[in-house]
Chains A and B, each alone.
Chain A
């Protein structure tokens, strides 16, 4: 079956531009997560949705970052007024259930470069 998909796969933005990154989770998966991965580091948690409810956004680095999942399926991560430090790979993951025991399935990521 289809896995998690993300678009675009690559995005180059000029400093100050707004960007929107899309995630299509596996159909039927309740939980959706966004992570930021810098080069040579493990993924860092950004935010978590259970269906359409954003239950945890403690990892969002600033108020320039905003995520939504209005119908409980597709999610969008928006970054306003991008800065060079936002350059990273943004990974989306989904899991069938809630809580920490369920395997997370990751998308291929969006590589964002801010120039």
Chain B
């Protein structure tokens, strides 16, 4: 079983839709959590960190459930420019980033 798993995707949604991505991780000794975004043939870029209390940045909301070892990302009012692959990232004390396989999102006009 992989350390970090994500919804397999792809997700094809119309503009304006709300879409949610799920991520689970297997190692309970986790430190930090992030969502990165990767456009086709580009490098990953930080979208947002994920805090225990949950956090929101505009149309994006991230939630963390440590007990269930589960992270989510909600995108409201999807835009065409949101089309990308979303990577869930988990880090451990003294260790490095472990990336999930990514979930591809296509927002359709």
List residues of A whose CB falls within 8 A of some B CB: 33, 35, 40-45, 48, 56, 91, 99-101, 103-104, 106-109
Chain B interface size, under 10 / 10 to 19 / 20 to 34 / 35 or more: 20 to 34
If A56-B96, A100-B91, A101-B31 touch, whether A43 touches B42 (CB-CB below 8 Å) is: no
24 A-B pairs within 8 Å (CB atoms) are namely A33-B97, A40-B101, A42-B4, A42-B87, A43-B44, A43-B87, A43-B99, A45-B96, A45-B99, A56-B96, A91-B43, A99-B31, A99-B93, A100-B32, A100-B92, A100-B93, A100-B94, A100-B97, A103-B34, A103-B49, A104-B46, A106-B44, A107-B43, A109-B43
Query: DSSP majority for the A interface?
Result: loop
Q: Kindly provide the distance from the CB of A74 to the nearest chain B CB, expressed in whole angstroms.
A: 18
Chain A residue contacts of B19, Cβ below 8 A: none
Q: Kindly provide the distance from the CB of B26 to the nearest chain A CB, expressed in whole angstroms.
A: 15
Q: Kindly provide the distance from the CB of B47 to the nearest chain A CB, expressed in whole angstroms.
A: 11
* B31-68 near A? 1/0 per residue, CB < 8 Å: 11010000000111110010000000000000000000
